[in-house]
């Protein structure tokens, strides 16, 4: 059910968790919105975001773009748990379905890896709004991520691109 605890997947190595949190902390938009990683495990990432005038739209709901950004990051950082320390990820595409208005005190994005390959990772995310303790599924996302070398420009000369 929506308000059940996050699955207890294998815990992450401390160095992997630290890399993910450091990467997340570099995302200016997430810091500006006061988003935080509330759970990390192998193949899983949960991000929580309190409602504020930084993330609202004109009707007093979480903005659809904000819901998409939280979904993208939750799925993306779930993917980060499955790559080696010398790799990075970028989003290739995602599809978001908004199922209900994002009306609540908190938005929670739960990302999960579906399949991790050498060059592509497929992830999903469920987005919930919590309003007065009641959890409502407000959106679902499916995403494809590209796996890259940590510093792709260091290994490619200008003539080999």
CA 43 centroid distance within chain: 11
Taking only the tens place, the pLDDT of each residue in 61-86 is 999 999 999 999 999 999 999 999 89
Q: Which residues contact 123 (CB under 8 A, 6 or more apart)?
A: 75, 76, 78, 79, 111, 112, 113, 114, 142, 143, 145
Cβ proximity of 49 and 17 under 8 Å? no
Q: Residues 43, 28, 82, CA angle at the centre, nearest 5°?
A: 15
Does 109 have pLDDT greater than 90? yes
Q: How confident is the model at residue 6 (pLDDT cuts 50, 70, 90)?
A: low
pLDDT of residue 46: 98
Is residue 1 predicted with pLDDT exceeding 90?
Answer: no
The full 3-state SS of 91-151, as one line of letters, equals: EEEEEEEECCCCCCCEEEEEEEEEEECCCEEEEEEEEEEEECCEEEEEEEEEEEEEEEECC
Can you give the pLDDT at residue 130?
A: 98
Residue whose structure tokens are 């570099």: 26
What integer is the mean pLDDT of 15-40?
A: 96
CA 113 to chain centre: 11
Taking CA atoms, 39 is separated from 55, 62, 66, 110, 115, in Å, by 21, 21, 19, 9, 20
Band of residue 147 on the pLDDT scale cut at 50, 70, 90:
very high
- Give the Cα separation of 30 and 10 in Å (integer): 26
Q: Catalogue all structural domains in the chain, each as residue range(s) with its CATH number.
A: 14-149 (3.10.129.10)
CB atoms within 10 A of CB 43: 20
Please state the length of the chain.
161
For residue 159, what pLDDT band results from cuts at 50, 70 and 90?
very low
């Amino acid at each position: 059910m929506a308000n059940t605890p996050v699955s207890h997947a294998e815990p992450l190595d401390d160095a992997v968790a630290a890399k993910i949190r450091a990467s997340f902390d570099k995302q200016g938009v997430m810091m500006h919105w006061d988003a935080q990683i509330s759970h990390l495990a192998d193949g899983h990432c949960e991000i929580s975001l309190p409602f504020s005038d930084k993330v609202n739209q004109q009707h007093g709901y979480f903005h659809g773009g904000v819901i998409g950004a939280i979904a993208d990051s939750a799925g993306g950082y779930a993917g980060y748990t499955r790559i080696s320390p010398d790799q990075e990820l970028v989003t290739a595409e995602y599809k978001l379905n908004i199922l209900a208005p994002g009306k609540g005190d908190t938005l929670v994005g739960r990302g999960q890896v579906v399949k991790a390959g050498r060059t592509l990772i497929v992830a999903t995310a469920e987005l919930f709004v919590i309003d007065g303790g009641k959890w409502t599924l407000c959106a679902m996302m499916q995403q494809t991520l590209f796996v890259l070398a940590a510093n792709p420009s260091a290994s490619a000369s200008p003539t080999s691109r």
